Homo-oligomer: A and B are copies of this chain.
């Protein structure tokens, strides 16, 4: 999309008939332009049909980022893409490669997001289920025989060339930088290329101390660059595959073709696609998380101490008969007057001014069983942070409302990168675990998983005046309230553009 320090202007024309939109620039910190973060209800009003909204922001760091709708469950309907920010002319990456490719992984549901959202809001609760397909760069297949009733192949279109798998052509003996990103609605994924190692060199726009994997675990909202050498037998093609981990999904693996020139790009490899890792083997996923460190020579160490620790217990609750996801048993309801405007323009009646909890009943709460009382509450309150303070976040996972079940949640922070201080298993120990924090070479990221029954500790500087969402990147989890909102330095936010206004109480700002 541009090179580091470029100012990017994006005109978004909403040509939908009756539906609004808002586009989030995922991983772009929007320093000085918090109003262009594109998060409906947090930083802006929705863009109406017929309207053109102009986003204008600086891409201040090279790397791999994303853009996607941040409104209802619209991202999952397909409004997304990836962003590549180049280094300025004359500068070079700390690793060498011949070609640069971007691949987005996703999952795909047959049920529309409207139906999904209606089911999630229903009593009784109707879960979205597992995706019907996994997509590699937008392409995938559906097992027609699995349909109910079974579909004919010609309806399923498997033989239509337009429905062929994604194929990327490579030249033997070269090094490819593959920018792999995940925008799944639900699934945690493993990605691999048959017979090829991958060297991880970038994560969420930060250089990684290189390490080699056979398969890459990737969670929704994450981006990685890996280097792949085309050093295998060039007389054939190879499978690239992705499969669901962390959930016992019925979804068949996603397939693509890693095409060695001059083989035909659609020629099937002669082998059976490699089966990915076991869905319920948490160990390698945990280990990959721990393995990701900042690259030597590119280390920006975190502040040695923090000013505030917020513990976010990830819980599944029942609220007034609805199933909800929550933190500390409080499920977020995003109001229709965006927080940024409400705070800047002093519309404080539009949301609760009672601060949300800083933690949970640490002493008595057992994270392993289903709770006796799973009831939660909803709130639209937010965390207000001291500008330039250092904040630690402990994401603490726990059992859901099903016995022996804890899920993987990829948490994404808007407006900042955070240092990942550590991952742990079981309940976070506030005395001893901080002593093991990595303060030497922690990676910075904007999205991080908290593993089942585990914890993840983050640190960030609240140095970006604005209002920022921090939420589980699983579409249905965020829809069901799994998120929080941080405010910092609202008094330092510049004059808001009127283009972000026009909804909720901000309409009254705009008196005729």
A contacts, CB < 8 Å to B: 17-21, 45-46, 48-51, 71-74, 112, 114, 117, 149-152, 155, 335-336, 345, 496, 498, 501-504, 507-512
Contact = CB atoms under 8 A, between A and B. Distances in A.
Most chain B CB within a 10 A radius of its CB, from A46, A48, A498: A48
A467 to B, nearest CB: 17
Contacts of A20: 18-20, 48-49
Nearest to A499: B507
Given A18-B71, A496-B512, 10 more contacts: A18-B46, A18-B72, A20-B20, A112-B112, A498-B511, A502-B502, A507-B510, A509-B512, A510-B510, A510-B512
A460 to B, nearest CB: 30
A335 B48 CA distance: 13
Leading 8 A-B pairs by shortest Cβ distance: A510-B510, A50-B336, A18-B72, A17-B72, A502-B502, A509-B512, A19-B19, A18-B19
A492 B510 CA distance: 25
A112 B115 CA distance: 11
A48 B46 contact: yes
Contacts of A509: 510, 512
Given A117-B17, A152-B149, A336-B49, A512 B504 contact: no
A17 B502 contact: no
Contacts of A152: 149
Most chain B CB within a 10 A radius of its CB, from A152, A336, A345: A336
B503 A51 contact: yes
Contacts of A112: 112
Copies in the complex: 2
A45 B71 CA distance: 20
A387 to B, nearest CB: 24
A503 to B, nearest CB: 5
A18 B74 CA distance: 8
Nearest to A509: B512
A364 to B, nearest CB: 37
9 contacts: A17-B73, A18-B19, A18-B74, A20-B20, A48-B48, A149-B152, A498-B507, A498-B510, A510-B510
Nearest to A507: B502
A503 B336 contact: no
Contacts of A510: 498, 501-502, 507, 509-512
Contacts of A498: 507-508, 510-512
A48 B18 contact: no
A138 to B, nearest CB: 18
Contacts of A51: 336, 503-504
A512 B346 CA distance: 13
Given A17-B117, A510-B511, A510-B512, A48 B501 contact: no
Most chain B CB within a 10 A radius of its CB, from A71, A74, A336, A510: A510
A335 B335 CA distance: 29
Nearest to A510: B510
A498 B74 CA distance: 29
